[in-house]
Amino acid sequence: VSDYWLMATGYGRGQVIGRTFTDFVDEHWHETYRARRNATHANICEVTVPFIKANGETMTVLILEMKSAASDEHGGLSLSVMTDVTELKQAESRNHAQAITDHLTGLLNRQGFEAALDDAIRNADETVTELACIFIDLDRFKWINDNFGHAAGDEVLRQVVTRIRTTLRPDDTMSRLGGDEF
């Protein structure tokens, strides 16, 4: 291990020499890490996994591994490069959340709703349960915007969301499909 790796992870050299890399990977990701060799291209494989630093914090790392010609399925020599991609993954998560969220109400938008509905249908099929989907369209909402302005219309939408939420169960999903449609 390099001095930079030790500095970035907080481990001492004696703490890591002789241990396998999976000792430092979140246990729920061990199989993902082991499966990296199945997706090998020209003796190079890559995987992104949560890595546990010496202080207990988790960072997301990209591992690029090049196996030597002497390597086989039982091991051998390899060169691995670990890159901290924590901030990149957090930015991706924020971008994804923004892409599926309505900025005014904080609810799922149409794209988020479609994904949630797909998941709910899949879950209902797997558990042989029923699923209901209710569509709400506010009457005369355009009149509010035209006569009181968009700020008033936005406040009406937020109030509608607050009121509908009081009737939902904790595992129910609500979304704003657009305009005055929920």
Residues 30, 102: Cα–Cα separation, whole Å: 36
pLDDT tens string 140-167: 999 999 999 999 999 999 999 999 999 9
What does the pLDDT read at residue 66?
A: 85
Q: Which residue has the tokens 């899949």?
A: 122
**180 labelled catalytic:** yes
Strands 44-52 and 58-67: antiparallel
Residues 56, 75: Cα–Cα separation, whole Å: 28
What does the pLDDT read at residue 73?
A: 57
As a whole number, the mean pLDDT across the chain is: 89
pTM above 0.75, yes or no: no
What does the pLDDT read at residue 41?
A: 64
Kindly list the distances between the CA atom of residue 42 and the CA atoms of 32, 61, 65, 68, 76, in Å, as whole numbers in the listed order.
20, 22, 11, 11, 16
What DSSP line would sit under 17-83, residue for residue? TT--GGGGB-GGGHHHHHGGGGG-BTTEEEEEEEEE-TTS-EEEEEEEEEE-TT-BTTB--EEEEEE
Within 10 angstroms of residue 26's Cβ, the number of other Cβ atoms is: 15
Model confidence at 45, pLDDT cuts 50, 70, 90, reads confident
For residue 83, count CB atoms less than 10 angstroms from its CB and return exposed for 0-12, middle for 13-18, buried for 19 or more.
middle
pLDDT tens string 65-113: 887 665 555 566 778 888 999 999 999 999 999 999 999 999 999 999 9
Annotated catalytic residue within 3, 84, 139, 180: 180
Q: Taking a C-beta distance cutoff of 8 angstroms, is the pair 53, 59 a contact?
A: yes
What does the pLDDT read at residue 160?
A: 95
Show Cβ contacts of residue 26 under 8 Å, excluding neighbours closer than 6 positions: 49, 50, 51, 52, 58
pLDDT tens string 24-42: 988 888 888 877 766 656 6
